[in-house]
Amino acid sequence: MLVTKTIQQYQYDIFNHKNGCENIVKSFLEKIESYKPLNAFIEVYEEESIKRAKELDTKRINGNPLGKLYGVVVALKDVICYKDHKISAASNILIGFTSVYNSTVVEKLLAEDAIIIGNCNCDEFAMGSTNENSAYGNVLNALDETKVPGGSSGGSAVAVQAGMCMISLGSDTGGSVRQPGDFCGIIGLKPTYGRISRHGLIAYASSFDQIGIFGNNIEDVGLVLEVISGGDDYDSTASNNKLEKITALNNNSLYRFVYLKNALNHSSLDPEIKNRIENLIQKLKKEGHVVEGIDFELLDYIVPAYYVLATAEASSNLSRYDGVRYGIKDTSVTNITEMYTKTRTMGFGKEVKRRIMLGTFVLSSGYYDAYFSKAQQVRRLLVEETEKIFKQYDAVILPTTPCTAFSIGQMETDPVAMYLADIYTVFANLTGIAAISLPLFKHINNMPFGVQIMSDKYNEVTLLHISEMLLKDYKQ
């Protein structure tokens, strides 16, 4: 099921005339068709991707310079704009809307000769942890169709998991790349906040959102990160900090790790996940790495602070969907207030409405200081504590999720339980640091799970070196 070749190996076959872009694209299209019941794709750009593949084959035959991602087949989450293609954030309120411009990441992918094969299903407006909150229906986990793939980037994760593309892009607001990566048994990288431009990414919570990368190996993920990172005149939060070239991933360095003792002892953590991560810690120590545990007193404040702040930002960001400028509208109305109400009632799903209402509540005059201001203070404390940690250590070791993939429908009646399952991932979004989920283990229930590694801001090179070491030497 899984794609085992790296991008470099695909390109080697092309350059040595063992294959061509057109044949590769057609093989991926066949696979997408065979896995159609998984509902990972909203739209597949079949004719367009074949046409582009032919153009790239001609470019190579004519001896023209080729991009770093020549022939790489990529899928996009349905929140990333691609000019003249439909984008809806998996919401009824944007059904039929066509993007009028390219996101910065799409511009960079195309400039390096990538092939975009389609857009992927997701939770509506990236709100959810199961990919069950979509106007297009559930996405199914390719390893067990009774399980969810995780969310919100579940379609993008399954596209890579089932070998329907080489690489996919998602968005990570509170774990929406790492958690589905964990549930699907693939790599999910959330870079430093600002490492990748958010221009052309439909916003959920602007100070948390970050485009992330799904892949099957660190080499591919690192190459794509090199291509799509960097500053952007269209996004003032995109950093001009230069990403060091990610080379020589095979290294024998020793690292300084820290783990949060109360995170591993948390009541929500599956005993087998706890045991396997503790065994990993002991193996790292035996190999000469420094691995130390600390008590992290702010752990229980992470999820509440995240959901107060993220929903507050969502209530503001989603106010633009009012039926006036774009998207659906109820034409039977007689006044503007009625149009707003009916359009949003008709267009937004249950989970989006829940989060808008929660965000509006915490921003209201009577509760702003009690909730929003306090959550901002917690965020500041988390940033300060994180800075102290990375003055002493190279990386933090955490579980990615408290359990393996949920059963379909399991979280439907208890959204709070779904929110609390983000306990290990939202830390990186609150503090803006880089984090990755690595598929190291298999549970007794036959579902995959991994470990999460976090590094300091703009230190993705170290993060990827550590990740390569763990996948090479510690995968079980």
Catalytically active residues, by annotation: 77, 152, 176
Q: 386 vs 258, 382, 392, 428, 457, CA distance in Å?
A: 11, 6, 10, 10, 10
Q: Name the phi and psi angles at 325, rounded to 5.
A: -95, -40
Name the strand (E) or helix (H) holding 452: strand 448-455
- End-to-end, the C-alpha distance of the chain in Å comes to 19
Per the CB < 8 A criterion, the answer to whether 338 and 329 are in contact is no
Distance CA 46, CA 35 (A): 15
Q: 18 vs 6, 22, 117, 242, 308, CA distance in Å?
A: 15, 12, 22, 36, 54
Amino acid letter for position 236: S
* Exposed / middle / buried, residue 471 (Cβ in 10 Å: 0-12, 13-18, 19+): middle
Paired tokens of 444: 């007794």
The residues, any chain, with a CB within 8 Å of residue 206's CB and separated by 6 or more, are 198, 237, 313, 317
Strand arrangement of the beta sheet that strand 210-215 belongs to: 41-44, 115-120, 73-77, 167-172, 210-215, 187-190, 434-442, 448-455, 395-399, 256-260, 290-294
For residue 344, the cross-strand partners are none
Distance CA 120, CA 434 (A): 24
Would you say the C-alpha torsion 77, 80, 83, 84 has a positive or negative sign? positive
Distance CA 471, CA 476 (A): 9
Name the strand (E) or helix (H) holding 455: strand 448-455
Would you say the C-alpha torsion 7, 8, 11, 17 has a positive or negative sign? negative
For residue 211, the cross-strand partners are 171
